[in-house]
Amino acid sequence: MGASDFSKLPHIGEGVRRKEDYRFLTGAGQYTDDITQAAQTYAVFVRSPHAHAAIKGIDTSRAKAMPGVVAVFTGADIDGKMGGLPCGWLITSTDGTPMKEPPHPILAIGKARYVGDQVAMVIADTLEQAKNAAEAVEVDYDVLPAVIDMREASQGPALHDAAPDNHCYKWAIGDKGQVDAAFAQAAHVTKIDLTNNRLVPNAMEPRAAIGSYNRATEEYTLYVANQNPHVERLLMTAFVLGLPEHKVRVIAPDVGGGFGSKIFLYAEDVALTWAAKQTNRSIKWTCERSESFLTDAHGRDHISHAEMAMDKDGKFLAMRVHTDANMGAYLSTFASAVPTILYATLLAGQYTCPQIYVEVDAWFTNTAPVDAYRGAGRPEATYLLERLVSRCGWDLGLSQAEIRKRNFINSWPYQTPVALQYDVGDYLGALTKAEDMADVAGFEQRKAASAAKGLLRGIGYSSYIEACGIAPSNIAGALGARAGLFECGEVRVHPTGSVTVFTGSHSHGQGHETTFAQVVAARLGIAVDAVDVVHGDTGRVPFGMGTYGSRSISVGGAAIMKALDKIETKAKKIAAHLMEASDADVEFANGEFTVKGTDKKVTFGQVALTAYVPHNYPLDKLEPGLNETAFYDPTNFTFPAGTYICEVEVDPATGKTRVDKFTAVDDFGTIINPMIVEGQVHGGIVQGIGQALLENCVYDKESGQLLTGSFMDYAMPRADDFPEFKIGTICTPCTHNPLGTKGCGEAGAIGSPPAVINAVLDALKPLGVTEFDMPASPGRVWEAIQSAKA
């Protein structure tokens, strides 16, 4: 079935209420911490209080003797018994030097490299006993100088023997010679320096896990708050524990948000699995919020310099970018893919810039590892590009809309100079609709009204594009990645015609139990409630690559569509048998099978029953059952795109910035459930505005202590920080997946930060403020105003 026929089916485009919400709203959800195993114990991790320290000795004797203590493990107990955490999964250096992939031990061996690094694991009968015993573990540290700022990393103390200058890798894309030549011909060059601030993911449910071991079957089970249980199992068994995969079952039950931070293999998960066998007990660990701040992989943290060469009319000729990316103390699972294939390849944006050269240097510092966080590389690219594009316009005296319109791509497919090929889009259409919805025409009037109150009003544009549906194997491979990411779906039709779908995608807030059910119900002509979706269990789902990169509907959903194709083919044979016709003459629509040119028909329910209760079955041509599995590897990314327009009011006396209006127009191709999509966009925008105005992860430069280690110091966005968003869509269906969908789960977080900061800069322009880094907190805005005045 083609994407255009699919979009016309019943249930597609319907705002079906979320099936999963009943259990969440009635307190019946089952998160990892809600699960209790027989004879369960509790783990507490002893963590380094120092950013960089040699571990001269660990005395666990006092802790081991304390009441209820089952075991205390240190790095020495596991050294040589297992590998370290896998890293450098996706990319190698492009300058010919190997990427530095220093070992990342499960429990520190010899050295601690950031505040929070896990040094020992204490297991006791109760959580209180484990906490008390953890305090009794005596670690003899020799504190070493630390390096926190990546700009000083090459001169700082080495974290790893394998990387004496703390340089992890260099990666480049584009033709430097052509770019330099284009710059030499330019009529104007606009330059910009900016920092993309480090963020803490802060999912509602902190990380949690329970490891257990069954001596009779020699099987391990790990319950874990995780976004990709099969990948977790694969990494853990193949790279760390050396166990056969089928002996480990990973279950990610209800998960309270992840935003990327739960796709990595964390040391705690491995330690709990391994220790379950050593102690022959189930072991639960639930991360405390302050521990999350210190040890969840952080996001962003780039410092960039970018230049755009233009002709006399403001047409882009070439772009040159250098980015330093902070990897933190160790290379986290997907860290090396973020500033490279997810960031650098997105820097063409929506524009016809014929030449682009991007160079990335990645550094180790004594801070928590940095990895994917909602958008992963694409918010960093969009922030840089959309800030640069607005600045180009201001430098040339062109409006933010005009500079974009002069450079928009307007025919597809479009091959960018940085590897990606966009299949379809309508960038001008989105901008025009956004301007209309945002009432840009009335801006000057609103600005005058603000001025009358002593306030500065600014307007900011951001025209983002992102590559979702991560990641087609052929493209990932061509870019140097070590693996591509397909998806798997199984459709099991039961004798009564109801259906269970098993998907390798994982829902942790995105509503898959509803939208995937809509897809199946639409195809089979049955009720949405007749379809149940199972995910998050390696023991039940054949295989899976999980959820991130807004891939689930476009890759996971497409795998289900492929399985449904197989179901339909087989079901037609059964229907042909029932109607005594040739299966070539059988047609299927709206849950009914008919024979072309006759009035014969049978229902989907009759066919399902016949599959399991066969009469006179032609066993030479058909086997009983109606159950199909398919794997889908996309041929390209999907490319959602849109324009966001933000209006802010700034109080120059206090620096306080208020978002007054926010309009988002997105192109997500075919939309399965508009209510869920709108919720996804709202959440993304809130996180994006959070980064732009409030959130900032700060370490003390000398001691390496995390200064923003709690919600007292790390400002999260709240409902009263926002106006009502205006959300609109346009639709150019994706050309290469059978649903026509493009991902929507990250768009808001990608598109919104530059729209906000461009609006702040527009407001501050009359005062002479031309540059500004996120977050635009009152103090920073006030300081920028004062320095412009000075």
Q: List contacts with ligand MCN (CB under 6 A).
A: 203, 257-260, 374, 508-512, 515, 547-554, 668-673, 676-677, 680, 683, 741-746
Contacts of 580 (CB under 8 A, 6+ apart): none
| Minimal distance, residue 638 CB to ligand MCN, in Å | 9
| Minimal distance, residue 552 CB to ligand MCN, in Å | 3
Nearer to ligand MCN, 659 or 676 (CB): 676
Nearer to ligand MCN, 130 or 424 (CB): 424
Nearer to ligand MCN, 680 or 732 (CB): 680
* Cα–Cα distance measured from residue 535 to residue 32, given in angstroms and rounded to the nearest whole number: 15
The residue at minimum Cβ distance from ligand MCN is: 509
Sort 445 into a burial class: Cβ within 10 Å, 0-12 / 13-18 / 19+: exposed
| Minimal distance, residue 342 CB to ligand MCN, in Å | 11
Nearer to ligand MCN, 211 or 669 (CB): 669
| Minimal distance, residue 534 CB to ligand MCN, in Å | 15
- DSSP code string of 601-670: EEEHHHHHHHHHS-SS--TTT--S--EEEEEE--SS-B--EEEEEEEEEE-TTT--EEEEEEEEEEE-BS
| Minimal distance, residue 536 CB to ligand MCN, in Å | 13
Across 230-364, where does the E strand assignment appear? 248-251, 282-286, 302-310, 316-328, 355-364
| Minimal distance, residue 38 CB to ligand MCN, in Å | 31
* Cα–Cα distance measured from residue 235 to residue 249, given in angstroms and rounded to the nearest whole number: 13
| Minimal distance, residue 12 CB to ligand MCN, in Å | 9
Nearer to ligand MCN, 583 or 746 (CB): 746
| Minimal distance, residue 375 CB to ligand MCN, in Å | 7
Nearer to ligand MCN, 356 or 692 (CB): 692
Sort 448 into a burial class: Cβ within 10 Å, 0-12 / 13-18 / 19+: exposed
Widest Cα–Cα separation across the chain: 92
| Minimal distance, residue 238 CB to ligand MCN, in Å | 24
DSSP 8-class letter at 10: T
SS3 682: helix
Question: Cα dist. 126→33, 107, 179, 328, 734 in Å?
Answer: 14, 22, 62, 33, 53
DSSP 8-class letter at 510: S
Strand partners, 650: 456, 657
CB-CB contact of 374 with 260 (8 Å): yes
Strand partners, 455: none
CB-CB contact of 413 with 421 (8 Å): yes
CB-CB contact of 215 with 38 (8 Å): no
| Minimal distance, residue 561 CB to ligand MCN, in Å | 12
Nearer to ligand MCN, 554 or 657 (CB): 554
Nearer to ligand MCN, 469 or 655 (CB): 469
Nearer to ligand MCN, 251 or 575 (CB): 251
Nearer to ligand MCN, 617 or 631 (CB): 631
